[in-house]
Structure 1
Amino acid sequence: MRAAGMTLVSALLAAVLGAPSGPEQERPAPQALPPVQVSDDGRFFVHADGTPFFWLADTAWSIFVNLDRGEVERYLDARAAQGFTVIQAVAVFPQAGGPGPNRYGHDPLADGMTPAVSDSGDDYWDHVDFVIDAAAQRGLRIGLLPVWADTQAGELVTTENAGSYGEFLGARYGDRVVWIMGGDSGADGVEDVWRALAEGVAVGANGRADYTGLLMTYHPRGDQTSAEWFHDDEWLSFNMLQGGHCRRWDNLLGLIEGNYARTPPKPFLDGESIYEDHPICWKPEDGFSTEEDVRRNAYWSVFGGAAGHTYGHHAVWQFLTEDGDASLGARGTWTDALDFPAGQQMRHVRALVESRPYLTRIPDQSVVDGEGVRATRDSEGSYLMAYATEGAAFTVDTTVLTGGELRAWWFDPRTGTATDAGPAERGASVEFAPPQESDWVLVVDDAARGFAPPGS
């Protein structure tokens, strides 16, 4: 017998573990964020008025299970202050203490994929409501994974139950979230499970299999992209790749370039890039990923045409505590990890591209020559940017820029500050040397445009 969405076992566990008996914070008033849609050219996200929306996400996979409401607010306050715009979270997550009970002793499901709901205002889904509303209150969207694919697709969620589960979610959350099918898994053999779930969401949200107003994608396994299975599906609004955690930079570039080349064009982004402080390929003996690794992944993706980027920290997605059980070689605590350098530096990627004409930005490797250098530019000629990973000199073709005079800047991806490098030569192979032997971004502008310093 299940009472108020809580099993007897869950209730006993909550008592033994000292979980809160009920929510401490009242649910914020539901708040509608401005709608986001795909741009007309299929490359970016925009608001209804056509202004750009930059996807800057954090992976908080286990937030619904592992945080109470006070901790949710602490986490969201931090990420909002750091310039994030999206939080990726999983409704039914079988890792890091999941799928339940949550901190209030509630489980997400009753039998099979039937949601465990009650009329008490105090069940698992009421806590999900709280997180979504608290995020919206801070200008953050939830990228909601209905159910983690890895180990569950085709077993827990099937073609028989995916539709009804999707209808429940779609009716409850509609266009208030971004829908992310999958979860660290390829879709081979279970493609129709995800199609049924996506259709169910649409039916719940719009009353029929109509995807209008709904942003949807699929989160694959490392070194994969959603385009492998669903690029031509009507429900898939944008593609998501997973760069993974192994410093396989050539694979990452292949994924980026492959997604950009797909037709018809759809926005894409790396939905699980190399986490900060993650064991390289899950082998601590090989070291842990650094802030430089995280920055490289972000700038290479965005300069390669991505419509945004997802950051992650290995201790944050599982909300690891001092006395918690670490998953997959994680270390430290989630509260300390909120202040790790790369997490604070991601805002500079966003600020940089937002400081120049946005919707005409294209990737263009033909304008640079140098190891580890990736370039983007304005298709109308007002600026170009080149991210250099090694600090070595490289050359740039500045003839692609308009105007009689050119102005160069060095943008520091660690601090977000720009240094005026003075006039730049116009030529097919102009050499530039970064200020220091580390990663830097070169920005060259058509001086007549009068742009403010990059990132401002």
Structure 2
Amino acid sequence: MKKQWSFLLLLALFACIPAIAQEDTWKGASVDFKHGKLMVSENQRYLVHKDGTPFFYLGDTAWELFHRLNEEEVEAYLENRRAKGFTVIQAVILAELDGLKTPNAYGDVPLVDMDLLTPNEKYYKWVDKVIKMAEAKGLYIGLLPTWGDKVDKQWGVGPEIFNPMYAGLYGVWLARRYKKFKNIIWINGGDRWGGDGNYSTWEALGSSIKKEDKNHLMTFHPSGECSSSQWFHNSFWLDFNMAQTGHCQRSYQIYEKLIVRDYNKIPVKPCMDGEPRYENHPVCWKPDSLGWFDDVDVRQAMYWNLFSGSCGHTYGCHDIWQMLTSGRDPVGLARGDWKTSLDLPGAYDVIHARRLMESYDWVNRVPAQEIIISENTDYSHKIVAIRGKGYALIYFPNGEKTTLDVSPVAKGKGVIQKWMNPRNGEIVIVDKPAIQGIIEVTPPSSGRGNDWVLILEEAVP
């Protein structure tokens, strides 16, 4: 009977207490560059501006941005992403899809006669313009000098035009051109293995840029289910680690393998997932048997990543990275027009994660799995927690029941509970009396697509 009354009380609370709705669009510039250049926080865990203001890396993969879009299309794309709360657009100068031979929307290729030491000024002026367009909207460009097929062809178009010497010369030229731009984060690599025969070329490219440009942070975009830390963790040019959890996993295990591992590495460096499962991507390229990633997958990947200690997260859509539209051959079974796919459900959900993460103490938060004391071994249903001073955030990927120990949060004062709906950002206070010690928690709903974030706040005496 006691449990029944508790359940009825919970329902009553939900019925009577109004939801606090977060806005679903971002007003004004996404980032205020007046806070100064980006740096690694003092505790080496997160990214901050020069004046100490926290920076939340919320990226989108627009790999073909410079290569395939015209000015009107770039404006539409950037405005859509600004309004949805993104802070970083990841784009490639020497693009993947025959980026050396197939010209951009204005008929220009990046290199004269595919000579890396003879850049085409008209093409780079276009790159300059796009970066400035992003700056006007408060967006950083996660700038990749090249896609990986120009270093190591594998499945790409290529051709391979880099070696360590050319990489160093190209890196110096790029750094001198862009070191005074306000809104750049360098991303070395490009979906490729960083070791073996590739190591010296990537190391030369990263080193040459960093020696010349000390104004911007740099990371490395690796091949699938890998992290930059595997090869470059101790490289002076690598400011934070980037993983690619890839397009096959629907399990927390990949975050344990990559993000948790990177978080615990010494020396400490910030870490994040720079390419997770893309929305509208066939699961492991097997749509007939495994289906397609959707907004549920987007949210699970995002919160699993963030609550494991990441400094940020990158969203991706299979149709958008390649800017697929009528007349272009789809890559990897892509099936949607990029303009329509801009407004897929998962792209709307990321703003709620940003608002949540920016609402609480930033640089002092730590992963807090010790809060979850019931069995939590199923990687498909993994509950993850993070906490800071006087609060904790706990993610339930499918509305799982669990038992929590709130004492690390409350320190004897008890906690107030709130539920946040990751699908719309609504927050509901479900228990006003402060609760202490061990508590049993049942999310408002359960099953696939019924993910929830529990917010625990230390009660005010």
TM-score class, shorter: 0.7 to 0.9
Q: Hey, what does 1:411 align to over in structure 2?
A: 420
Q: Hey, what does 1:81 align to over in structure 2?
A: 83
**Structure number with higher relative contact order (C-alpha < 8 Å, ≥ 6 residues apart):** 2
The reply on whether 1:273 has 2:276 as its aligned counterpart is: yes
Which moved further from structure 2: 64-73 or 91-100? 91-100
Q: Hey, what does 1:172 align to over in structure 2?
A: 177
The reply on whether 1:234 has 2:233 as its aligned counterpart is: no
Q: 1:386/1:96 Cα in 2 relative to 1: closer, same or farther (>3 Å)?
A: farther
Give the Cα–Cα distance (whole angstroms) in 1 for the partners of residues 246 and 433 of structure 2: 37
The reply on whether 1:135 has 2:143 as its aligned counterpart is: no
2:400 to 373, 392, 413: 392
Question: Given that residues 66 and 97 in structure 1 are in contact (C-alpha distance below 8 angstroms), is that contact kept between their aligned partners in structure 2?
Answer: no
Question: Given that residues 65 and 99 in structure 1 are in contact (C-alpha distance below 8 angstroms), is that contact kept between their aligned partners in structure 2?
Answer: no
1:112 to 110, 115, 119: 115
The reply on whether 1:145 has 2:144 as its aligned counterpart is: yes
Question: Given that residues 220 and 226 in structure 1 are in contact (C-alpha distance below 8 angstroms), is that contact kept between their aligned partners in structure 2?
Answer: yes
Q: Hey, what does 1:433 align to over in structure 2?
A: 442
Q: Hey, what does 1:448 align to over in structure 2?
A: 460
The reply on whether 1:199 has 2:204 as its aligned counterpart is: no
Question: 1:339 aligns to what SS in structure 2?
Answer: coil
Q: Hey, what does 1:182 align to over in structure 2?
A: 189
**TM-score of the superposition, structure 2-length normalised?**
0.85
Question: Given that residues 166 and 200 in structure 1 are in contact (C-alpha distance below 8 angstroms), is that contact kept between their aligned partners in structure 2?
Answer: yes
Q: How does 1:378-389 map to 2 (within 5 A)?
A: 378=388, 380=389, 382-389=390-397
Question: Given that residues 244 and 274 in structure 1 are in contact (C-alpha distance below 8 angstroms), is that contact kept between their aligned partners in structure 2?
Answer: yes
1:395: Cα distance to partner? 1.4
Question: 1:434 aligns to what SS in structure 2?
Answer: coil
Q: Deviations over 1:328-370 (max 9, x none)?
A: 1111111111101111111111110111111111111111134
Question: 1:146 aligns to what SS in structure 2?
Answer: strand
Question: Given that residues 93 and 99 in structure 1 are in contact (C-alpha distance below 8 angstroms), is that contact kept between their aligned partners in structure 2?
Answer: no
Q: Hey, what does 1:377 align to over in structure 2?
A: 387
Q: Hey, what does 1:36 align to over in structure 2?
A: 38
Question: Given that residues 109 and 120 in structure 2 are in contact (C-alpha distance below 8 angstroms), is that contact kept between their aligned partners in structure 1?
Answer: no
2:72 to 70, 73, 98: 70
Question: 1:184 aligns to what SS in structure 2?
Answer: strand
2:58 to 56, 77, 81: 56
1:174: Cα distance to partner? 1.2
Q: Deviations over 1:301-346 (max 9, x none)?
A: 1000000000000000011113321111111111111101111111
Which moved further from structure 2: 438-447 or 393-402? 393-402
Question: 2:128 aligns to what SS in structure 1?
Answer: helix
Unmatched runs of 5 consecutive residues or more in structure 1: 1-30, 206-211, 450-456
Give the Cα–Cα distance (whole angstroms) in 2 for the partners of residues 274 and 159 of structure 1: 32
1:255: Cα distance to partner? 0.8
Question: Given that residues 62 and 98 in structure 1 are in contact (C-alpha distance below 8 angstroms), is that contact kept between their aligned partners in structure 2?
Answer: no
1:222: Cα distance to partner? 1.1
Q: Which amino acid aligns with 2:186?
A: W
1:292 to 290, 296, 319: 296
Runs of 4+ in structure 1 off by over 2 angstroms are 31-34, 96-100, 114-118, 150-155, 202-205, 402-405, 423-429
Q: Deviations over 1:48-85 (max 9, x none)?
A: 11110000000000011100011000000000010000
Q: Which amino acid aligns with 1:186?
A: W
Question: Given that residues 314 and 330 in structure 1 are in contact (C-alpha distance below 8 angstroms), is that contact kept between their aligned partners in structure 2?
Answer: yes
Question: 2:192 aligns to what SS in structure 1?
Answer: coil
Q: 1:107/1:443 Cα in 2 relative to 1: closer, same or farther (>3 Å)?
A: same
Q: Which amino acid aligns with 1:152?
A: V
Question: 2:259 aligns to what SS in structure 1?
Answer: helix
Q: Hey, what does 2:47 align to over in structure 1?
A: 45
Question: Given that residues 366 and 387 in structure 2 are in contact (C-alpha distance below 8 angstroms), is that contact kept between their aligned partners in structure 1?
Answer: yes
Pairwise CA RMSD: 1.8
Q: Deviations over 1:103-139 (max 9, x none)?
A: 0000011233124334xxxx11111011100000000
Q: Which amino acid aligns with 1:327?
A: V
The reply on whether 1:263 has 2:266 as its aligned counterpart is: yes
Q: 1:143/1:422 Cα in 2 relative to 1: closer, same or farther (>3 Å)?
A: same
Give the Cα–Cα distance (whole angstroms) in 1 for the partners of residues 222 and 58 of structure 2: 18
Question: Given that residues 117 and 124 in structure 1 are in contact (C-alpha distance below 8 angstroms), is that contact kept between their aligned partners in structure 2?
Answer: yes
Question: Given that residues 410 and 418 in structure 1 are in contact (C-alpha distance below 8 angstroms), is that contact kept between their aligned partners in structure 2?
Answer: yes
1:160: Cα distance to partner? 1.9
Q: 1:202/1:406 Cα in 2 relative to 1: closer, same or farther (>3 Å)?
A: closer
1:394: Cα distance to partner? 1.0
Unmatched runs of 5 consecutive residues or more in structure 2: 1-31, 154-159
The reply on whether 1:401 has 2:409 as its aligned counterpart is: yes
1:158 to 157, 160, 163: 163
Q: Hey, what does 1:101 align to over in structure 2?
A: 103
Q: Hey, what does 2:22 align to over in structure 1?
A: none
Q: Which amino acid aligns with 1:156?
A: I
Q: Hey, what does 2:327 align to over in structure 1?
A: 323
Give the Cα–Cα distance (whole angstroms) in 1 for the partners of residues 125 and 345 of structure 2: 34
Question: 2:319 aligns to what SS in structure 1?
Answer: coil
Give the Cα–Cα distance (whole angstroms) in 1 for the partners of residues 134 and 303 of structure 2: 26
Question: Given that residues 409 and 419 in structure 1 are in contact (C-alpha distance below 8 angstroms), is that contact kept between their aligned partners in structure 2?
Answer: yes
Question: Given that residues 151 and 201 in structure 2 are in contact (C-alpha distance below 8 angstroms), is that contact kept between their aligned partners in structure 1?
Answer: no
Question: 1:56 aligns to what SS in structure 2?
Answer: strand
Question: Given that residues 413 and 434 in structure 2 are in contact (C-alpha distance below 8 angstroms), is that contact kept between their aligned partners in structure 1?
Answer: no
Q: 1:331/1:115 Cα in 2 relative to 1: closer, same or farther (>3 Å)?
A: farther
Question: Given that residues 175 and 215 in structure 1 are in contact (C-alpha distance below 8 angstroms), is that contact kept between their aligned partners in structure 2?
Answer: no
Q: 1:328/1:312 Cα in 2 relative to 1: closer, same or farther (>3 Å)?
A: same
Give the Cα–Cα distance (whole angstroms) in 2 for the partners of residues 334 and 96 of structure 1: 19
Q: How does 1:1-40 map to 2 (within 5 A)?
A: 34-40=36-42
Q: Deviations over 1:201-230 (max 9, x none)?
A: 23443xxxxxx3330111001110000000
Question: 2:231 aligns to what SS in structure 1?
Answer: helix
Q: Percent identity?
A: 40
